[in-house]
Amino acid sequence: MGLLSLLFSNPALFLILAVTLLYSVILHEIAHGWVARLFGDDTAWRYGRLTLNPVSHLDPIGTLMLFLVGFGWAKPVPVDYYNLKRTRFGFFSVALAGCAVNILIAMIALVLLQFGVVNENSALSTILPVVIRINIILGAFNLIPIPPLDGSKILMSFLPLNAQESLARLEPYGFFILVFLLFSGLLNPVIIFMQSLIYGFIGLLFHFLK
């Protein structure tokens, strides 16, 4: 069942799912700002972006994309990378934080399903598989190393300064590059590969936790 079809078939379930998915992208952004503050940059905090108030975060197009194609985005939190302590590790940690939160949300939902915490006939049994899938897609998509996605900043944290600057120069065109790659289908194998990495990582963790 498509996400939008739930709006007509089960409005209450759609509302619960909508809130859950919206907070998946909101928590992704808050994580960037929160980790940045840990490393010495309080820009997001000063701009009031470390809040759970959705009004401060939601991007209309990103929200629509979340329900139409299965991934979307919130307004990026402002981070001044020059303020970060332990610059390279701080840069890497801030960039990875959003994807890490999406993977964590997927893992929590998976635990609830796998260990029988959720009744099979409850609304959560319908919602949680969608939450898992969307959050893994969000994590996988954002790991792609094309500016302005998080993957590009993760990559930058390992690159020399001149290579960082070269990659950063792509950022004004990044959205158009991503749209072209998405609609041409060229990005699909990359997203699938990133998803397989995340599923493998989660599977490995579950193996060690047993």
Enzyme catalytic residues: 29
3-state secondary structure of 184: helix
> Position 98: which residue type?
G
Q: Which residues pair with 58 in a beta bridge?
A: 74
d(CA 138, CA 132): 10
CB contact burial 65-93 (16+ within 10 A = b; e otherwise)? bbbeebbbbbebbebebeebeeeeebbbb
Is the separation of the CB atoms in 142 and 28 below 8 Å? Answer: yes
d(CA 82, CA 94): 12
Residue 113 buriedness (CB in 10 A; 0-12 / 13-18 / 19+): middle
> Position 97: which residue type?
A
Torsion (CA) 138, 142, 148, 152 in degrees, nearest 10? 180
